[in-house]
Amino acid sequence: MVSVRRLWIVLLGLMLILPVLPAVAQESETSLQLSVERDFGFSMSGRIQGRFTLKVTGPEDLTRVEFLIDDVVVTTVGEPPFRYSFSTGDYELGVHLISAVGYTSLGEVMQSPIHRYEFVSADEGLRIAGRIVIPILIGTGALVLIAMAGSMLVGRRRGRPQIGEYGAAGGAVCARCELPFSRHVFAPNLLIGKLERCPHCGKWAIVSRATGEALERAEARWVAEGTSGGFELESEEDELRRMIEDSRFES
């Protein structure tokens, strides 16, 4: 008799707990989410400067949202999209707390997570960004110079370009002299093409892989001009001398 009573107590407890579990899951699915998106300015590691937009997403029956900065309501939005834009210059420098409170048609009140940001000045934002961007630019420039030097050394070892010999990276057509040449595998890849030096005229340019038809037209032009065997290539020394002369005229 006692065991039967215990069984009924356990079953009654399960009946009371089970309806609660879906309710908890539903509450997590309909939580209020707040995002801070940069429109213009600086944002890094919790430090921001400039103009930003606060965006709130929540349940379908969300009817009103209050945006708060430092627990003070700065605006109330009564219809979607629930957004609010602000400028950090309108507030004192330092740490600020950003949050939102939402209200549903059933009267439910929801609180968003609190975001903590440090508002910095424009000069401070530039200094922080410079500490990261400048080393990246220096490193990228060094890699480009190394790759350019490697391309020149490889080109010197290859000697004069030959028709139809383009290698694994394919061939390209110079935009200046319109003659074909092979691209180097280790040349800097700058998304739209490789940074290459034309072995015919010495011009540096970003060149993409040419199609077979374009290479055939360039090869025909090369043969027609009688340059397939005796085209005078511009050496690296000649190119450097020419660049110095050009810089004199530009100055």
- Residues 31-79 have pLDDT tens digits of 899 999 999 988 888 999 999 999 999 999 999 999 999 999 999 999 9
Query: What is the dihedral angle through the alpha carbons of 171, 174, 175, 178, rounded to the nearest 10 degrees?
Result: -100
Cβ atoms of 201 and 180 within 8 Å: the answer is no
pLDDT the model gives residue 19: 42
Confidence band, pLDDT 50/70/90 cuts, at residue 9: low
Question: Scanning the structure block, which residue is given the tokens 């490789």?
Answer: 194
- Residues 90-149 have pLDDT tens digits of 999 999 999 999 999 999 999 999 999 999 988 876 776 667 677 777 777 776 676 666
- Cα separation, 185 vs 192, whole angstroms: 15
Q: Give me the domains of the chain, ranges plus CATH numbers.
A: 31-120 (2.60.40.10), 127-250 (no CATH)
29, pLDDT greater than 50: no
Percent of the chain at pLDDT > 70 equals: 65
Task: Please give, one letter per residue, the 3-state secondary structure of the chain.
Answer: CHHHHHHHHHHHHHHHHCCHHHHHHHHHHCCCEEEEEEEEEEEECCEEEEEEEEEEECCCCEEEEEEEECCEEEEEECCCCEEEEEEHHHCCCEEEEEEEEEEECCCCEEECCCEEEEECCHHHHHHHHHHHHHHHHHHHHHHHHHHHHHHHHHHHHHCCCCCCCCCCCCEEECCCCCCEEECCCCCCECCCCEEEECCCCCCEEEECCCCHHHHHHHHHHHHHCCCCCCCCCCCHHHHHHHHHHHHHHHC
- Cα separation, 146 vs 130, whole angstroms: 24
- Cα separation, 34 vs 113, whole angstroms: 7
Q: How far is CA 148 from CA 121, 154, 169, 186, in A?
A: 40, 10, 15, 9
How much is the pTM? 0.47
